Amino acid sequence: MCSMTLSSFHVESSSSDGKPSASQFRALGAAARNAFFKYDTPRLVSVHSVSVGLLNRVVQISIIAYVVGFALIYEKGYQQTDTLESTVTTKVKGLVVASGSGHEWISRVWDTADYVVPPLENGAFFVTTNAVVTPNQQHGTCPESPIIANGKCLNHTECPVDVPVISGNGIRTGICNNLTSTCDIFGWCPTEVDILPEEPVLKGTENLTVLVKNYIVFPRFHTKRQSISLTANSSRYFATCLYHPETDPLCPVFRLGDIVSFSGERYEELVHLGAIIGIIIEWNCNLDYDIALCLPKYTFRRIDDRLDETSKGWNFRYADYWTDAAGEERRTLMKVYGIRFVFYVSGQAGKFSIVPFLTNIGAGLALLHVVTFFCDFFLLHVVKFKQQYSDHKFETVSGYPTVKTTDSVTIAADLAMK
């Protein structure tokens, strides 16, 4: 390096009154002027050394391999990218027979309108597999359910009037029912008996199928895709095809039992208490190629914790209301268990753009300057004749640039390491 350095100067002591002297001001001014009007320029030093040359080429090749192989090719650094916007609609089909557990009205054929509750969800759908049914409820007075701990009593004083039963089915009437040892309540009667049947109410739900329609758009590239149009445009195909990751990975029709199996779970273990299964759809598209190659990839996993004993599975309640011949409002209370299938759609598209391409090339060229740092550090601190290199590397020129110096210096010795 050639550089212009500060000249040494002598600072006189301050005057007797403590104020800086004139010579001190001049010295400070000269120092500031020299610091401001300073310029460093690189000096070429050619070093003929096997060890230094090998280090130079190894670092160069490593940087070039990283920029070209990883940043440009593997990470597609030459492309501009965009994330997708998506929506999913579903259509579940199939019939199942329900076992009524003593209720003849429930022993019937259930179709989509019966077991898909609610009928429409945003990015998900629910299929009923088990249920606790309390039919023909109406407003009135009846004993609280024996399984409700807060509703038990021994005398009337334990049933204060108009006080709700915690986690119960109504408000207390002030009477302790001697037959059930529970408080009489006012609410929907008879009360729900929340005891799961030994066998699932709905059998055969694993054979139900769902048609998944996934619509995506990459706004930056004005590109739209949909999963249902990726296969033959034939209603006969959709009526017969069934998704399989190896034999038919693009079919948008899925068997529920297969979805659970692909997630690593057993369907028969989930139907009693329910579960949450994630359906992951990935779209990773290279728009430099044919748009027909932009295809979805499906994966599946269980979302809820199978080891959670506090609130295991998935369930909720809903009711069907009607008015009987006497004009009384009645309802059938349903506590349903089942599998909730949730969709997660992600992905991105990439397309060649000159801006990211030149940006990565420029970053790679700038990174090549690291070679100089490694080699200079090696020559200045590692090799045996580091002082010889330092003497040729750095030179100070003071005053006006009238001193002549050689443009380059060649060190022909093979510098050995310590």
Closest to 197 (Cα-Cα) out of 151, 142, 134: 134
3-class state of residue 359 by DSSP: helix
Could you tell me if residue 46 is left (phi over 0), alpha (psi between -120 and 50 degrees) or otherwise beta?
A: beta
pLDDT value of residue 317: 93
Non-local CB neighbours of 52 within 8 Å, separated by 6+ positions: 375, 378, 379, 383, 415
| pLDDT surpassing 50 at residue 230 | yes
- For the chain, domains (ranges, CATH) are 48-78+353-393 (1.10.287.940), 83-135+197-351 (2.60.490.10), 145-190 (no CATH)
Q: What is the mean pLDDT of residues 291-309?
A: 90
pLDDT value of residue 98: 83
pLDDT value of residue 17: 57
Does the annotation list 238 as a binding residue? no
pLDDT bucket at 403, cuts 50 / 70 / 90: very low
Q: What is the mean pLDDT of residues 264-281?
A: 94
- pLDDT tens-digit series, residues 323-350: 988 889 999 999 999 999 999 999 999 9
pLDDT value of residue 354: 94
pLDDT bucket at 394, cuts 50 / 70 / 90: low
As a whole number, the mean pLDDT across the chain is: 84
Nearest 5°: the CA angle 352, 353, 355 is 150
Does the annotation list 317 as a binding residue? yes
**Two structure tokens written together for 183:** 């408080």
Does the annotation list 316 as a binding residue? yes
CB 317, CB 333: distance < 8 Å: yes
| pLDDT surpassing 60 at residue 14 | no
pLDDT bucket at 415, cuts 50 / 70 / 90: very low
pLDDT bucket at 404, cuts 50 / 70 / 90: very low
Q: What is the mean pLDDT of residues 176-187?
A: 94
Q: What is the mean pLDDT of residues 59-79?
A: 90
Does the annotation list 335 as a binding residue? yes
Residues across the chain: 418
Relative to beta strand 44-47, strand 408-411 is parallel
Does the annotation list 116 as a binding residue? no
Does the annotation list 92 as a binding residue? yes
Does the annotation list 355 as a binding residue? no
Does the annotation list 384 as a binding residue? no
Helix (H) or strand (E) holding 275: strand 275-286
- pLDDT tens-digit series, residues 94-153: 999 887 654 555 667 899 999 999 988 999 999 999 998 888 999 999 999 998 999 999
Nearest 5°: the CA angle 148, 152, 153 is 170
